[in-house]
Structure 1
Amino acid sequence: MGLNIVFLLLLLHFLEELTNLCMLLLRALKPHCRGKLCVCTRPCACAFVGWVRGIPLFLSCIFVPFLFFLSLFFFSLVRIRKHFAMLTFPGFVPLGEKQSVQAACEARRRYLAAHLVPLYANTNPTELWNNIVKYREHSGTDSNDCVETYEELRISYKGYKSMVYNLVFHMTIEEDKAAPASERESRKRLYFSHPFLSPATFLSFPRAEDGTISAVPMYAFAAKRLLLYRLRIKLELTARVVPMVLQDPVSKVAGQLRCPPSASSPLSNGLTQDDIENFLVELVPNLRLVRDIPPWMQPYYLCHASRKFMFMCDTRRTGAIAIDTMMKSDVFSELLRMYESDAQDAITTFPEGCTVDVAASHLVADTGVDDTVAALVISYEGEGNHPDDMYTVKALEEETVLRVRRSQLYWNPGSTEFLTQDVLSMDNWFSLPLMGRIYEHYTSLDLDGDGVLSIDELARYCDSSFTSLVVERVFECHVPHSGKHHVMDYKTYLDFVIATEHAATLPAMKYIWSILDLEGTKSYVTVDTLRGFCKEVASELIANGLMTDISAQSILSEVIDMINPKWHEWVEFDDIVRSGHQATVLPILLSYRNFYAYDCREQTAAEANDEYA
């Protein structure tokens, strides 16, 4: 602001000098006018004198405010540019530095790939727990390495530091003191800057009077971050899409995938669906029950699992997502609920009488590598949850008794009724039984067996409960045309399932919104359009005998009351988001069974209460 005032003072000084110059000109003209100008030319001279006299006033009234605001704009622009230069923009790297930055990124990936084994060794949750037990605070009566309860596990700062040095540097504090000073300083800097095992981690937990902290919460905190650190390394090595900040403009024009930039790690590569599938392949041994997937089913499971990441995280539909976006999503948390840090804990015991699959090569030599046959578990040795435990099974078709290792058994849909709900996890998208049910439904819809679905075949989805208008709009908006045939493949089918099963999420709301937007406005849907969808639902309810006195207007009234739009003639997308009833409103516009379940919700709740009583 001070610079603006200085500039204004200089401008006023300039105008003052200009005024003085004009006054000198007036004085020079006055004697000349008195004696030598004729009558006819005197008015012209006087007019000229008046015009010259008005110049300073004109400049003061017009140009001074204009130049003042221009100066304000100029200095504000300079100040804003200075602030912008202080920020880190994920989408800008100077052209001359692109090659050096890209070389540094490649060097980082090569380093991670070369040091993968020691990095994993230093981030093993099992080793972390063993070191906590080793360096815990011993009580007066605690002379051995066992404790009665987890609450008794406490650790002092001295024990915490010894635990970290042994886990990260593989040495004791005494060995570190005997090392050269340069090495000690290097380890000290790493210890104090460690992302989740620094002294700050110890100080973040409540301490007792003796200065110790509870070891179990600290272990849970560190183990989770160790796991995320290991998964982040895997994703960094798997991602292939070059970030926008390092892409060549020529390659952008050529159609290269443009991954949205990440604010926290703009130089990390992006992930395609194939990259996510490659990442999931490495996690399969640690996923409960998924580790027992039959070989022929694995490609379908990988497509099933990766598709939800792409649907939920790739909101711009660029074909790639940032690593940060994936790891911060609810879908990633859902995946971690199926993950076991120790692969041994992911092995499930198949009880006696359970149906499993075994490789067909145990019965017939000349079969395919991925072929399996169903078998019945007769007995097993040990606890049945170790890869080398022997199982005795009987093939169902040829009634041949076989002895196979636990690692040679595969999951079969018939085993569902023998396993607990915790193992099945049917409410988790990454559950193998849930994936099997969705894939089985897809194959049952495919009447001609060509591997894709037509409009008539998709109309049978969910017992033909979706209205014909909705099915047609799904193909119109979300199924790409492939030549003369307009068919839905498995990936597109999974998008449809995810959208209809998770209608409360923002990507699903956008998916369904495009179905409702018959006019193609992309900003609002008229009430008359909604009446058309309600009319379809009412017709199906009457045709199937579920309701006889229902009308489109009554359904529309329910919908409008729940949405409560800002304008009575149309509904905007923000109205649905603001209503908080998107999980109810959107499904009842698609399926008549959804509206029937909504209309009978009170009766269903009353029956459930009677059963509970």
Structure 2
Amino acid sequence: MDWKEVLRRRLAAPNSKKNEKELKEEEMDLFTKYYTEWKGGRKNANAFYKSIPRFYYRLPAEDEVLLQKLREESRAVFLQRKSRELLDNEELQNLWFLLDKHQTPPMIGEEAMINYENFLKVGEKSGPKCKQFFMAKVFAKLIHTDPYGRISIMQFFNYVMRKVWLHQTRIGLSLYDVAGQGYLRESDLENYILELIPTLPQLDGLEKSFYSFYVCTAVRKFFFFLDPLRTGKIKIQDILACSFLDDLLELRDEELSKESQETNWFSAPSALRVYGMLLNYATIFILEHYVCLHFCPPGQYLNLDKDHNGMLSKEELSRYGTATMTNVFLDRVFQECLTYDGEMDYKTYLDFVLALENRKEPAALQYIFKLLDIENRGYLNVFSLNYFFRAIQELMKIHGQDPVSFQDVKDEIFDMVKPKDPLKISLQDLISSNQGDTVTTILIDLNGFWTYENREALVANDNENTADLEDT
């Protein structure tokens, strides 16, 4: 309650018989009292605020070279200290020895188990670096259906290994964080991958002259999916959370299976496929144009570039894949994406490929949705759907197929997506429906639409072929 309220109540008292002068004097006394208390409180508050340690330091400006060097050096020392806190190979081996020594019978199959009591004993003997792993919450996370309340020694050790790997990788990435703000710019990630290549046995087939082109392709995947707003930087935390770095570091395995290599965006077979087939042409092309080679499975960039100018025109891009994408969709690609004199460079092409090959992913759907949203309203309506499907109908006529009614396709699309607004399909509706890849395919690609229309016949045919193979 403030002093004005106290005074009002006193003046409103029914038994008050004071004259006006006395009331004014009392008012001034009360005002002085409360003002003094308030001012004293402000002083105490200021003294309290000054006792809080400083926690914000501005970043040094570009011209403050000495401060920048000091900051870089302090970060390097900090990261080195953090690196020394991690378990090394010898300490990991010692931990495994202790776990194996304290396993708790009986064994279930070939899997060694350990109970909570022995778990704590190992924690006491394994040293201070391991203390963080031997906690009740870690044990509780790993306990499952064991009737004796134990956890798998192998699962726990893998958990420790994964934690150590994540910390090592974070420190390694942080060394390339020039800004020191917890994110990597495109050039930072390029430097990281470039220096990582010699440590990956699966990339031994790449010559050094092709390293920069490989890096171009590898970095693009990170930025397409982890930087959807195109800010030009990615949080290190996001890099660690996604599976891309796992795929890249999987190339350390000298015995990686052929199937794993074929499905890995970063693998050498894709690079060698382009390198081997187009060696002479590629060498001249690189020297003259300094354009990245496309090492991903489609391997089509140089094949599409018929005039060998290092860029793709709309006509050249139209031959991508099965060459059945509509001109209307390709027009939108060249309207919305970055081009140079109406032609597409390699990085823009990579975004295009990543979007079309990963249509189930939100980042890919966001890319395609922007192209389909011709009125830039943030949703697709009947007009938008009809605009793109008319091009599919025209291609069907050209190929001698009977055109399908747009009304039927429109109803199927809305039935699949089930948008919140029955007349509009938002990007979130498309993602939430898990049908975004199907919807976008039937609107932009004749081959994709034909496959969707004949899906039942194709499934039946596959079943027949499978049955025939089993009979033989």
Tell me what 1:421 maps to. Answer: 259
Tell me what 1:498 maps to. Answer: 354
Q: 1:320-345 CA distances to partner (integer Å, 9 max, x unpaired)? A: 1111122223xxx243145359x5xx
Tell me what 2:315 maps to. Answer: 456
Tell me what 1:602 maps to. Answer: 456
| Match among 343, 350, 358 for residue 487 of structure 1 | 343
Contact 1:537/1:552 (<8 A) preserved:
no
Contact 1:452/1:489 (<8 A) preserved:
yes
> 2:104, 2:237 → 1: CA distance?
47
Residues 376-395 of structure 1 aligned to structure 2 (within 5 Å): none
Tell me what 2:220 maps to. Answer: 307
| Match among 300, 321, 327 for residue 240 of structure 2 | 327
| Match among 432, 457, 477 for residue 268 of structure 2 | 432
> 1:200, 1:237 → 2: CA distance?
31
Contact 2:381/2:423 (<8 A) preserved:
yes
Q: 1:591 to 1:137 in 2, by over 3 A?
A: same
> 1:209, 1:163 → 2: CA distance?
27
Contact 1:191/1:198 (<8 A) preserved:
no
Task: Give, in angstroms, the shift of residue 191 of structure 1.
Answer: 5.3
Residues 331-410 of structure 1 aligned to structure 2 (within 5 Å): 333-337=243-247, 339-340=249-250, 343=252, 346-348=253-255
- Gaps spanning 5+ residues in structure 2: where? 21-48, 61-66, 272-294, 468-472
Residues 505-520 of structure 1 aligned to structure 2 (within 5 Å): 505-520=361-376
Task: Give, in angstroms, the shift of residue 14 of structure 1.
Answer: 7.3
> 1:537, 1:576 → 2: CA distance?
20
- Gaps spanning 5+ residues in structure 1: where? 25-84, 86-92, 142-146, 166-186, 244-267, 350-418
Residues 169-568 of structure 1 aligned to structure 2 (within 5 Å): 187=128, 192=131, 194=132, 196=133, 201=138, 205-206=142-143, 213-243=151-181, 268=182, 270-285=183-198, 287=200, 289-329=202-242, 333-337=243-247, 339-340=249-250, 343=252, 346-348=253-255, 420-422=258-260, 424=261, 426-434=262-270, 436-438=295-297, 440-480=299-339, 482=340, 485-521=341-377, 523-545=378-400, 547-568=401-422
Q: 1:240 to 1:555 in 2, by over 3 A?
A: same
| Match among 10, 17, 25 for residue 6 of structure 2 | 10
Q: 1:163 to 1:278 in 2, by over 3 A?
A: farther
After superposition, the CA RMSD in angstroms is 4.0
Indicate whether 1:137 and 2:101 are aligned.
Answer: yes
Counterpart AA for 1:16: A
Larger radius of gyration: 1
Task: Give, in angstroms, the shift of residue 311 of structure 1.
Answer: 1.1
Residues paired across the two proteins, number: 400
DSSP 3-state at the match of 2:100: coil
Contact 1:286/1:340 (<8 A) preserved:
no
> 2:296, 2:141 → 1: CA distance?
45
> 1:514, 1:530 → 2: CA distance?
13
> 2:205, 2:189 → 1: CA distance?
20
Tell me what 2:286 maps to. Answer: none
Task: Give, in angstroms, the shift of residue 428 of structure 1.
Answer: 3.0
% identical equivalent positions? 27
> 1:443, 1:116 → 2: CA distance?
45
Q: 1:11 to 1:602 in 2, by over 3 A?
A: farther
Task: Give, in angstroms, the shift of residue 586 of structure 1.
Answer: 1.6
DSSP 3-state at the match of 1:535: helix
Task: Give, in angstroms, the shift of residue 451 of structure 1.
Answer: 1.5
Tell me what 2:276 maps to. Answer: none
Task: Give, in angstroms, the shift of residue 306 of structure 1.
Answer: 1.2
DSSP 3-state at the match of 2:384: helix
Contact 1:563/1:575 (<8 A) preserved:
yes
Tell me what 1:109 maps to. Answer: 75
Counterpart AA for 1:431: S
